[in-house]
A and B are shown apart, each in its own frame.
Chain A
Amino acid sequence: MTVKFTEDHEWISINGDIATVGITEHAIEQLGDLVFVEVPEAGRTIAKGEEAAVVESVKAASEVYAPVSGEIVDGNSAIADDPAGVSGDPAGNGWFFKIKLSDPSELDGMMDAEAYKAHTE
């Protein structure tokens, strides 16, 4: 599994042609306690950069953008039911959606963990 990061604070964990997408610890900290999450429905086709999900805290609302294009395979209903379950750990249960990549070349140039850490400092 490879994990990459976007400038918009999404992480993307790639396994073959299925990618799992979530938001980073940094993003979660900035938002504060999360109160609402909306995830996309399976079957939806989405383009890179399009709004895929919504995450809200008490005082802030953010769009989560699709870091790659493809077809949504699954939206994480667990975090939609309980926003406290959102986590920045790509290996954990706090992911937002899984997507089948239509263009793997979109991954080129994305940051790795070290580059993302530098980006947030």
Chain B
Amino acid sequence: MTDHSQGRSNVPVGGSMPQSRQTISGSKGLEFAEPLIFELGQVDRCGVDFDDVEISSDRLNGQRRKEAVGWPGLSEPQVVRHYTRLSQKNYGIDSGFYPLGSCTMKHNPRVNEKMARLPGLGDIHPLQPESTVQGALELIDTLAHWLKTLCGMPAIAMSPAAGAHGELCGMMAIKSAIQARGEAATRTRVLVPESAHGTNPASAAACGFSVDTIPANEQGRVDLDAFKKKLGDDVAGIMLTNPNTCGLFESDIINIADAIHDAGGYFYCDGANFNAIVGRVRPGDLGIDCMHLNLHKTFSTPHGGGGPGAGPVVLSEALASFAPLPYVVHDKDHYSIIEHTAHSDAQPFGRLKGYHGQMGVFIRSLGFILSHGADGLLQASTDAVLNANYLRVKLQDQMSIPFPGMCMHEVLFDDRFLKDTDVSTLDFAKAMIDEGFHPMTMYFPLVVHGALLMEPTESESKDTLDLYVKTLRGLIEHAQTGDSQFFKNAPILTPRRRLDETAAARKPVLRWTPCQSME
């Protein structure tokens, strides 16, 4: 079977701590024991007032629902309290430092929430007559212009709903270009670095490509020789993240672009780490054919606990004509949206999503972009890289760094500094939680052992970084005293302690059912 070197136990081993004082109600001060809505609700309660209208079943084709849905009834105060209490168990960027590598957890400006809800933007229907939504089409086009200019690319597909969706879009455009050249049967192999995010090979496979992995060299970058050896007539392209998932700029990128083009392939760039270079480097100048942007990363739209995001894809001349439907066009002062191949002058490969795209996310990111402007975006990316390098120099004597030297907007450590302590990367991260810090990204990328990937972003003050450094240094010292139990018990100050992920996977309980609450 395939080799794995990073498995670890997911059954937590800590026992009950003396600090966990029991209360009668189950709540502890401002931390509330909050059941499920299904355990709180009653059938005859409701949080919205409606008249009880009679209807005849004549026009329902005999399909009137016979059984109850089963939803619990709650009044508005109960619902507000319930979700308020749930929110209090969560850590967000608003709560504190959130250095998740490759996620770009920067501040989400509040004016953007206001803008997204404006009448005339938040409430318009996508299929209203074009004449009644000119401002909306103008907004999409304005954002598109900014993104193309910042990237130095001539075209853009705005509709993908997230980064992974954008990857799919880019790879579909590439496959379409290959098909147009009559090479679809032969060019089936896509090269992907071993440090790539899992969405990259998954997206390639979703297009029907096979994936061939390129190893990293000792500088944490794509091994150029190994890459060149893998070129051939059957190569469709390369998917490269730049800056890469080790937080490093792929210095050979222009050579890589030239080589892949000479081999007849295309260059997909994963733009998740664009925050390092906005305003300073245009990916279009590096020779890429397409690149997705994560509006919910680089362009500050809220992560929302797992979306929604948006993943527009900038495209080169070679791929522009294959951009999916729909897309906005404008001439003089009139905007139109092209929704059908028959109305298009190009060869769109199809439609990826219902309606036009993540408009609510477009509005928020445009707010951010207009606020910063060209000068501010450059300052933001510079500050992001400065903050990451500051963490690097402040921690590298105590933490082990696999790829020394200047990093981009994120810094990668591995777990060698924890060798002989019996403290794993996971244990170390859980101890950070008790200190009020969300941990950095753990165990990614896979090219180093026990990875710790930290991305501070430009939204953090020097004071925050200094406190973070002080805390980490203290934890490292503690780890070196041999008190590994301290780390294995962590976290102890959180609403829940370590959770049994093994049991969750072995016997999945994925919804509430009435008999559960009776146990």
Chain B residue numbers with a CB within 8 Å of A36 are: 505-506
Known: A58-B502, A58-B505. A8 touches B10 (CB 8 A): no
- The number of residues on chain B lying at the interface, defined by a beta carbon within 8 Å of a beta carbon of chain A, is 17
Interface 0/1 of A64-105, CB less than 8 Å to B:
110000000000000000011000000000000000000000
CB contacts under 8 Å to B, within A25-72, are 27, 29-33, 35-36, 55-60, 62-65
B interface, over-half SS: loop
Interface 0/1 of B1-38, CB less than 8 Å to A:
11111111111000000000000000000000000000
With CB as the reference atom, state the residue of chain A lying closest to B7. Answer: A32
Known: A35-B502, A35-B505. A59 touches B2 (CB 8 A): no
A62→B505 contact, CB < 8 A: no
With CB as the reference atom, state the residue of chain A lying closest to B5. Answer: A30
Q: Please, how many angstroms separate the alpha-carbon atoms of A58 and B6 in the complex? A: 11
A60→B6 contact, CB < 8 A: yes
B1→A27 contact, CB < 8 A: yes
Chain A residue numbers with a CB within 8 Å of B502 are: 33, 35, 57-58
Chain A residue numbers with a CB within 8 Å of B483 are: none
Size class of the contact patch on chain A = 20 to 34
With CB as the reference atom, state the residue of chain B lying closest to A53. Answer: B1
Q: Does residue B466 face the partner (Cβ distance < 8 Å to A)?
A: no
A interface, over-half SS: mixed
CB distance from B201 to the nearest CB of A (A): 14
Q: Please, how many angstroms separate the alpha-carbon atoms of A55 and B1 in the complex? A: 9
Contact of A65 among B1, B11, B501, B506 (CB under 8 A): B1
Which 8 residue pairs across A and B have the least CB separation, nearest first? Answer: A32-B7, A35-B505, A33-B502, A31-B7, A58-B10, A30-B4, A64-B1, A62-B1
Binding site for A on B (CB under 8 A): 1-11, 443, 501-502, 504-506
- Extra contacts besides A56-B505, A59-B8 (17): CB < 8 Å: A8-B3, A10-B1, A30-B7, A32-B10, A33-B9, A35-B505, A36-B506, A57-B502, A58-B10, A58-B501, A58-B502, A58-B505, A59-B7, A63-B1, A63-B2, A65-B1, A84-B506
18 contacts between A and B (CB under 8 A): A9-B3, A30-B3, A30-B6, A30-B7, A32-B9, A33-B10, A33-B11, A35-B505, A35-B506, A36-B506, A55-B1, A58-B502, A59-B7, A60-B6, A62-B1, A62-B4, A65-B1, A83-B506
Binding site for B on A (CB under 8 A): 8-10, 23, 27, 29-33, 35-36, 55-60, 62-65, 83-84
